[in-house]
Amino acid sequence: MLELEASCLTPEPVLKASGHVDKFSDLMVKDAVTGTCYRADHLLRDHLVSLLQDTQSDLTQGQREEIEALRERLDELSQKEMDEMLSMYGAKAPETSNALTPAYPFNLMFATQIGPSGLLPGYLRPETAQGIFVNFKRLLEYMGGKLPFACAQIGLSFRNEISPRAGLLRVREFQQAEIEHFVNAEDKTHPKFGNIRDVKINMYGRSQQMRPPYKPIVTSIGAAVDEGIIANETLGYFIGRTAVLVDKIGMKWEHVRFRQHLEHEMAHYASDCWDLEINCSYGWVECAGLADRSAFDLGNHSEKSGQELTAREVYAEPRHREVLAAIPNKGLLGRTFKKDAQTIMKSLASMEEAELLALQAALASKGKASVIGFEVTKDQITFKVEKRTETGRNYYPSVIEPSFGVGRLLYCLWEHCYYVREGGEGEDGSAIRAVLGLRPSMAPVKCAVLPLSKNALFEDMVKEVGQLLGRAGLINRVDDSGQSIGRRYARADEIGTPFGITVDFKSTEDRTVTVRERDSTKQIRCTIENAVETIRELVAERKTWAQVCDQFGVIEDV
Amino acid sequence: MLELEASCLTPEPVLKASGHVDKFSDLMVKDAVTGTCYRADHLLRDHLVSLLQDTQSDLTQGQREEIEALRERLDELSQKEMDEMLSMYGAKAPETSNALTPAYPFNLMFATQIGPSGLLPGYLRPETAQGIFVNFKRLLEYMGGKLPFACAQIGLSFRNEISPRAGLLRVREFQQAEIEHFVNAEDKTHPKFGNIRDVKINMYGRSQQMRPPYKPIVTSIGAAVDEGIIANETLGYFIGRTAVLVDKIGMKWEHVRFRQHLEHEMAHYASDCWDLEINCSYGWVECAGLADRSAFDLGNHSEKSGQELTAREVYAEPRHREVLAAIPNKGLLGRTFKKDAQTIMKSLASMEEAELLALQAALASKGKASVIGFEVTKDQITFKVEKRTETGRNYYPSVIEPSFGVGRLLYCLWEHCYYVREGGEGEDGSAIRAVLGLRPSMAPVKCAVLPLSKNALFEDMVKEVGQLLGRAGLINRVDDSGQSIGRRYARADEIGTPFGITVDFKSTEDRTVTVRERDSTKQIRCTIENAVETIRELVAERKTWAQVCDQFGVIEDV
């Protein structure tokens, strides 16, 4: 897979071609008195919820159902419908109860001026994908002209959210990781599909969303593709890889589902689209989108830029085709039109079949016709059917796009990993301890290094352990703050550090240390060298903690 | 060292406090007719160069020297001086020879609006440093309140250059890598200084820049700090680490120098500043700046935000101090001023020593004085000298900042590594071959995998070699384009790939392959497994190519 880094600052024509300048907006309303801005769909949703929850209200069952139905399709409302609904349900500005202005579209891109002249408007990119599309020709060249290939980009995207909220879930600047996989639309198989064919997912397809019990079903990727629910192998491949990824980093399987976009939800360019949704305290959150964008993007950029962003398919066998051709009588045309004859012949040569047929018909019936403003006669042009041999064709590749929101994934992971346990001495002295149960591979700090107490006797060895861990590529943190060992373990648990090495009095005698694992809180004792090597194996998931306990024996709680 | 990722979008108050809103600008002039913009100092420099090179000109020796001197200080000219010089030397718009507008400052930050209201102006950050300063309190908390500590940030910065040019050297969006090392100004020693004390650098200090032969001298970091040329150990430490880094990645030592800022060049906040300058086809280019920014930044942000960004120094021994205190006669004050007595007593308690002395003197001489508008009398207040015990003090930490421009370093590295060799078959069929002689650690692709020809016999083994390299963490690229092996080697050389594994007929018999090294073009033959392991050792610099040649024996050119 290729990788590139395009710029965040994007000249306006690129985002005009992609449709973002005209369409990338949310409906907004303002408090008519204070001018405070609200996202219209969020405001209306909150208002509908409060209507439903109002115990004093006299809503009929029918009205309740209408409101429920409206809630489900708030993001589909047109500007006009939004105004009607806001007015029908009597929505007001939530803080002041003032009237609201009519809804109007607010473009979510940050605008700026590129260069000193003030004549080059630009935007911060709202997605990284466009930087890959506009560089398609170079990528294709690097691949020797061969498809399929994919290009990834990890980088910042910017959206001027009307109301940022919910921690990392709705922010104005976020890390995006996107892959654009370019493929011939006529063959969307994937050579590595076999690797993920048997991966199981919680599939929330269109039919599950539209029929009781309105719940996802468990299926394998292979079955979903075979049944035509997931549109093709390549899209299925990336859904499978995504399922493997979220499992590997430690998401809880029962809180992960893949939801297919309903027909009316899909972007105008997409032919099939699935969201990776993860359940957290904010509900089901879209953390990735996997879409078959068809040939929309490369086609649009080609049209707007005049640069043909196509790939070439070379036929296994040359193909023969019969085409109509106009044969100019050069001498006659030259004598009649002098220097304009060339222009006329050029126009004839570039005519599409339909135009040629029309010209042929006109000349046959009237004996004369107009070619780019010149009146030509029957004797000046003859027609004949020619055989053409074609060795290949140029086409716009289709694009399969997995697109990840890195911050959203991290936030959901933190929620899935967080737990509390009772007993022991918490950071704040309470009996409840917060633990961030990150898998070792995902924990930013792999090992805490703790002297048993602030005794100077331990200093050298603590330093040595830290260095040995560092040399083994294991990020570690020494905590010699002098607080009780229990409190320091709790502090390490809280930031997700999976292992702790403690240097105690026995260590200074025989170079053995204790190694503690965060979730079991069990400890073993071994030499410093064994401890470092063991943690390296554990982090690389080449060993389990149970195996380590067997190997060295669990020691009594100190 | 800590690391953080702050946002690129920055609210205006932050960059107002840092001085960027008011001062981060370049002087610009426009073509008075067409409106084309030019950076004034660049335009004047080009104009002066053309004056000096004009063989028809009748410049006196004195005039030539004046022009040479002016060229050296173009970036110091004030707006007024710039106008004078442009006019004195008759500078015109270079493309049209039209007159120029007067010079005016153009702020280099990209401005935008944050949020939908249009009331929150913001900028894209012009440097990553400010994101660290405004987060200082959290970082200090993470470090348990202890100094010194450092925090790094790698990320994009944005500068709206008037005339971007020179490839990656002057761009509007660039990757910056900065470290902010926070330290008590009273102790700028560094615990690891010993590690780099003997590192030699080409030092272009102030005295070398101001006296013949105007050339850098070779010195060790230790000597430069001992002699007080480099201001302190911590600054010296980072200069030394920078020197080690550029050497390690493959810069040519003789084209690397550390240039000290002259007194008048230094930013107003800096107390000493050194630029890492690297010589390339564009001349000496600033690729990093290493500055002692003193306490400027934290002080400014504290003042503007009202948040005290200080650290606390705890004294080894408590310190005792005698201070003057005003003792109110509470009963008397209460009876005289009723409810205002509290306010007066509060004011007395918060008075600085100088104010207290003035009050004491006034009461002593006149028997009465004014305290926040109330007339107090001698009998209402007595004075006494009290002993205070202080266990520590709050202070603004100094900041030592190494700041790297990643793109500039890469560009200079490419120039330093690029060479051509004659003989053999070049990519374009010519006899000259371009080689990007990147060290293995810096090469994006570590190994090319080449079937001898397009024979299907080689396919499986080529795939296997690619997989084995991948599993060993070695990025590799299969080139089965079917061109001659020489041409494919040349193509790999051109993008800096240090090694190539070729699968030939012998490979299919005995699972041996040839391994070729880019710069020597020598080849050895060994088993596939040995080849992968050998390349891993070579990339990790645990083995040299000479050792590998000794081990396996060099084979004849195929």
Q: Which residues pair with A311 in a beta bridge?
A: A395
Domains recognised in chain A with CATH numbers: 26-106 (3.30.40.230), 320-387 (3.30.720.200), 439-555 (3.40.50.800)
Across the interface, which of B37, B115, B160 has its CB nearest the CB of A160? B115
Across the interface, which of B9, B162, B173 has its CB nearest the CB of A172? B9
Q: Check residue A5 and give its pLDDT.
A: 95
Q: Check residue A118 and give its pLDDT.
A: 81
DSSP for A99-163, written as a single string: -BPPPEEEE-SPEEE-STTS--EEEE-S-SHHHHHTTHHHHHHHTTT-SSEEEEEEEEEE---SS
The 10s digit of each residue's pLDDT in A174-190 is: 999 999 999 999 999 99
Task: Give the separation between CA A432 and CA B299, rounded to whole angstroms.
Answer: 40
Task: Give the separation between CA B55 and CA B59, rounded to whole angstroms.
Answer: 10
Q: Check residue B433 and give its pLDDT.
A: 86
Q: What is the distance in angstroms between the Cα of B423 and the nearest Cα belonging to chain A? A: 25
Whether B481 sits inside 8 A of A144 (CB atoms) is: yes
Residue of chain A whose Cα is closest to the Cα of B481:
A144
Question: At CB < 8 Å, which residues of chain B contact A?
Answer: 7-9, 28, 35-37, 106, 110-117, 124, 144, 156, 158, 160, 162, 172-173, 481
The tokens 């396996």 sit on which residue? B552
Q: What is the distance in angstroms between the Cα of A471 and the nearest Cα belonging to chain B? A: 14
The 10s digit of each residue's pLDDT in A235-293 is: 999 999 999 999 999 999 999 999 999 887 777 677 899 999 999 999 999 999 999 99
Question: A513 and A498 in contact (C-beta within 8 Å)?
Answer: no
Q: Is the dihedral of CA A22, A24, A26, A32 positive or negative?
A: negative
Question: At CB < 8 Å, which residues of chain A contact B?
Answer: 7-9, 28, 35-37, 106, 110-117, 124, 144, 156, 158, 160-162, 172-173, 481
Q: Check residue A429 and give its pLDDT.
A: 59
The 10s digit of each residue's pLDDT in A498-540 is: 999 999 999 999 999 999 999 999 999 999 999 999 999 999 9
Task: Give the separation between CA A385 and CA A324, rounded to whole angstroms.
Answer: 4
Q: Check residue B424 and give its pLDDT.
A: 58
CA angle A369, A373, A376 (to 5 degrees): 35
Task: Give the separation between CA B546 and CA B452, rounded to whole angstroms.
Answer: 25
- Best probe of the B interface among A2, A4, A8, by most B CBs < 10 A, is A8
Q: Check residue B431 and give its pLDDT.
A: 67
Other beta carbons within 10 Å of B404: 21
- How many residues in chain B? 558
Across the interface, which of B9, B116, B160 has its CB nearest the CB of A115? B160
Q: In what order do the strands lie in the sheet with A217-220?
A: A2-3, A149-158, A173-183, A398-405, A283-294, A272-280, A256-260, A200-204, A217-220
Written as one letter, the residue type at A491 is: R
Residue of chain B whose Cα is closest to the Cα of A491:
B142
Q: Check residue B323 and give its pLDDT.
A: 87
Q: Is the dihedral of CA A477, A480, A483, A489 positive or negative?
A: positive
Q: Check residue B178 and give its pLDDT.
A: 98
Question: B381 and B348 in contact (C-beta within 8 Å)?
Answer: yes
Task: Give the separation between CA B103 and CA B84, rounded to whole angstroms.
Answer: 10
Contacts of B109 in chain A (CB under 8 A): none
Residue of chain B whose Cα is closest to the Cα of A39:
B116
Whether B160 sits inside 8 A of A124 (CB atoms) is: no
- Best probe of the B interface among A24, A110, A427, A459, by most B CBs < 10 A, is A110
Output the average pLDDT for chain A: 93
- Best probe of the A interface among B34, B43, B108, B114, by most A CBs < 10 A, is B114
Please give the span between the terminal C-alpha atoms of chain B, in angstroms, as a whole number.
Answer: 50
Q: Check residue A425 and give its pLDDT.
A: 55
Q: Check residue B353 and give its pLDDT.
A: 85
Written as one letter, the residue type at A302 is: S
Q: Check residue A354 and give its pLDDT.
A: 87
Q: Between the CA of residue A553 and those of A505, A511, A525, A543, A547, what are the distances in Å?
A: 20, 17, 8, 15, 10
Task: Give the separation between CA A498 and CA B542, rounded to whole angstroms.
Answer: 31
The 10s digit of each residue's pLDDT in A545-556 is: 999 999 999 997
Residue of chain A whose Cα is closest to the Cα of B478:
A143
Q: What is the distance in angstroms between the Cα of B186 and the nearest Cα belonging to chain A? A: 24
| A435: phi then psi, degrees, rounded to nearest 5 | -130, 130
- Best probe of the A interface among B8, B153, B170, by most A CBs < 10 A, is B8
Contacts of A113 in chain B (CB under 8 A): 110-111, 160
The percent of residues above 70 in pLDDT, for chain A, comes to: 98
The 10s digit of each residue's pLDDT in B342-401 is: 999 998 988 888 889 999 999 999 999 999 889 999 999 999 998 989 999 999 999 999
Question: B172 and B161 in contact (C-beta within 8 Å)?
Answer: yes
Q: Measuring CA to CA, which residue among A137, A115, A136, A160 is closest to residue A11?
A: A115
Task: Give the separation between CA B438 and CA B248, rounded to whole angstroms.
Answer: 11
The 10s digit of each residue's pLDDT in A457-488 is: 999 999 999 999 999 999 999 999 888 999 99
A106-132 b/e (C-beta count within 10 Å ≥ 16 → b): bbbbbebebbbeeeeebbbbbbbbbbb
Task: Give the separation between CA A173 and CA B6, rounded to whole angstroms.
Answer: 10
User: Taking 60 as the threshold, does the pLDDT of residue A297 lie above it?
Assistant: yes
Task: Give the separation between CA B355 and CA A530, rounded to whole angstroms.
Answer: 67
Contacts of B114 in chain A (CB under 8 A): 110, 160, 172
Q: Helices then strands (H, E): number in chain B?
A: 21, 27
Question: A363 and A381 in contact (C-beta within 8 Å)?
Answer: yes
Give me the interface pTM, i.e. the ipTM.
0.85
Whether B481 sits inside 8 A of A115 (CB atoms) is: no
Q: Check residue B393 and give its pLDDT.
A: 92
3-state secondary structure B158-210: ECCCCCCECCCCECCEEEEEEEEEEECCCCCCCCCHHHHCCCEEEEECHHHHH
Whether A113 sits inside 8 A of B110 (CB atoms) is: yes
Residue of chain A whose Cα is closest to the Cα of B34:
A117
Task: Collapse the DSSP code of B79 into the 3-class scheme (helix H, G, I; strand E, B; otherwise coil) and give the result.
Answer: helix
The 10s digit of each residue's pLDDT in B280-318 is: 999 999 999 999 998 889 999 999 999 999 999 989 899
Across the interface, which of B36, B112, B481 has its CB nearest the CB of A111? B112
Residue of chain A whose Cα is closest to the Cα of B7:
A173
Q: What is the distance in angstroms between the Cα of A117 and the nearest Cα belonging to chain B? A: 7
Mean pLDDT calculated for residue range A297-320:
92
Contacts of A471 in chain B (CB under 8 A): none
**Greatest extent of chain B over all pairs of C-alpha atoms, in Å:** 113
Q: Check residue A424 and give its pLDDT.
A: 58
Across the interface, which of A37, A110, A116 has its CB nearest the CB of B112? A110
Q: Where are the alpha helices (DSSP H) in A516-558?
A: 528-539, 545-552
pLDDT level of residue A396 (50, 70, 90 thresholds)? very high
| A254: phi then psi, degrees, rounded to nearest 5 | -75, -10
Contacts of B117 in chain A (CB under 8 A): 35-37
Q: What is the distance in angstroms between the Cα of A394 and the nearest Cα belonging to chain B? A: 20
Residue of chain B whose Cα is closest to the Cα of A113:
B110
Q: Provide the token pair at B403.
A: 């700041």
Contacts of A112 in chain B (CB under 8 A): 110-112, 124
Q: Check residue A431 and give its pLDDT.
A: 67
> Half-sphere exposure of B287 toward its Cβ, with a 13 Å CA cutoff?
28
Task: Give the separation between CA A205 and CA A209, rounded to whole angstroms.
Answer: 6
Across the interface, which of B106, B111, B116 has its CB nearest the CB of A116? B106
The DSSP secondary-structure symbol of B94 reads: T
Q: Which residues pair with A111 in a beta bridge?
A: A123
Whether A117 sits inside 8 A of B8 (CB atoms) is: no
Residues of chain B with pLDDT under 70: 268, 423-431, 557-558
Task: Collapse the DSSP code of B491 into the 3-class scheme (helix H, G, I; strand E, B; otherwise coil) and give the result.
Answer: helix
Q: Which residues pair with B517 in a beta bridge?
A: B499
